[in-house]
Amino acid sequence: MVSSPLITVMTAVVRKAARGVSRDFGEIEKLQVSKKGAANFVTNADLRTDKLLIEELSKARPKFAFLTEESGVIGNPNLKHRFVIDPIDGTTNFIHAIPYISISVAAQQRNDKGAWETIAGIVYDPIHDELFTAERDQGALMNGKRMRVSPRKEDLLLSTSSPRKGRENYAATLKAFERVVDTGATVRCSGSAALDLAYVAAGRLDGIWYQRLNIWDFAAGALIVKEAGGMVTAIDGTPLARDDKGSVLATNGAIHKTMHGLVSA
C-alpha cells in the first residue's frame, strides 16, 4: 500500500524522534536508584522529543499549527491544519523502565463547521519497533501490513487506567472497574492509552476505556481503531471530544454496546 505524502512525512519524523527515545530508555535503568533522578531524566527526554517533532514537522508542513502535551498551542490556532502530539505516552512506565511506551502524532484538519477531524495518525512503539498508522478511509497498518480488530465477544482482554483514590470520580471509576471484572473479563492497566488504542486496532486487546484523557492521548489512536474496523466513542456513547479532553471507549465493535452499559452506568 502506497502511503500519502503526509503519512510518509509523519513516519519519517516519528522514526527520527524515536531514535533518541530508544537511546534514553536504554539509560533509564542506571537511574533507578534515584526516583527523582529518573523522573527528571524522563521529563527532559519528553521535552527533547517534543522539540524535535515540532521542528521537523514544521519544516515539512509550515502551514500546520501544533497542539502538544509539552508545548500547548503553537502557531495560529485559526489555521486549517494542525498536528496533535504526545512525545512520550507512558512516562510512568518509562520512569520504571517498563517497555510499554509510545509516540503519538495525529494530523487534523477543520471540517465545514470548523471542528477538528483527524485525517492521519501514527502511534509508534520505539522499543519494539512497531509502527501503527492510519489515514482516513484508507484502513490501518502495522509495519505496513493491514490490521483488523478482533472478533471476540467472550474471553475478553481489556485495558484501562487503574482507579486511584483521590482522583476525580474515584468511586464511579472503581464501580465501573468492578462491573467489568465481574463479567469474567481480564483487565490490564498498561500505562499508555495511545498504545492501548493501537493494540485494539491490532486485535491484541478487545477493548479499552478511560474516564479522562487529553486529546493528544487519543487523537491518533482513535483513528487507527476506526480504520481497523473498530468503534470509538466517549464512555457515554457520544462522539469523542474534538478539543481539550474527554473520556474514551474503544472496542472491536462487537462488544461496544455491552461495554458501554458496564462502564457508563
pLDDT greater than 70 at residue 36: no
**CATH code for the domain defined by 5-146:** 3.30.540.10
Q: Look-up: residue for cell 485495558?
A: 159
pLDDT greater than 50 at residue 200: yes
Tell me the pLDDT band of 33, cut-offs 50, 70 and 90: very low
Give the Cα separation of 68 and 50 in Å (integer).
Answer: 8
| pLDDT (tens digit per residue) in 92-119 | 999 989 999 999 999 999 999 999 999 9
- The predicted model gives 127-142 an average pLDDT of 97
| pLDDT (tens digit per residue) in 164-179 | 887 777 888 899 999 9
Q: Contact at 8 Å (CB) between 107 and 118?
A: yes
Instruction: Determine the Cα angle at 101 with ends 165 and 247, to 5°.
Output: 50
- The predicted model gives 210-238 an average pLDDT of 96
Burial of 137 (0-12, 13-18, 19+ CB in 10 A): exposed
Pairing verdict, β 157-160 and 207-214:
parallel
pLDDT greater than 90 at residue 236: yes
User: Can you give the pLDDT at residue 77?
Assistant: 79
CA distances, 146 to each of 12, 185, 204 (Å): 19, 27, 14
- The predicted model gives 139-150 an average pLDDT of 97
Average pLDDT, the chain: 93
pLDDT greater than 90 at residue 1: no
The CB density around residue 86, as the number of other CB atoms within 10 Å, is 31
Task: Give me the residue spans of the domains in the chain.
Answer: 5-146, 157-264
Task: Give percent of the chain with pLDDT exceeding 70.
Answer: 95
Which of the four CATH numbers 3.30.1600.10, 3.40.190.80, 3.30.470.20, 3.40.50.720 does domain 157-264 have? 3.40.190.80
Least confident of 15-19, 49-53, 244-248: 244-248
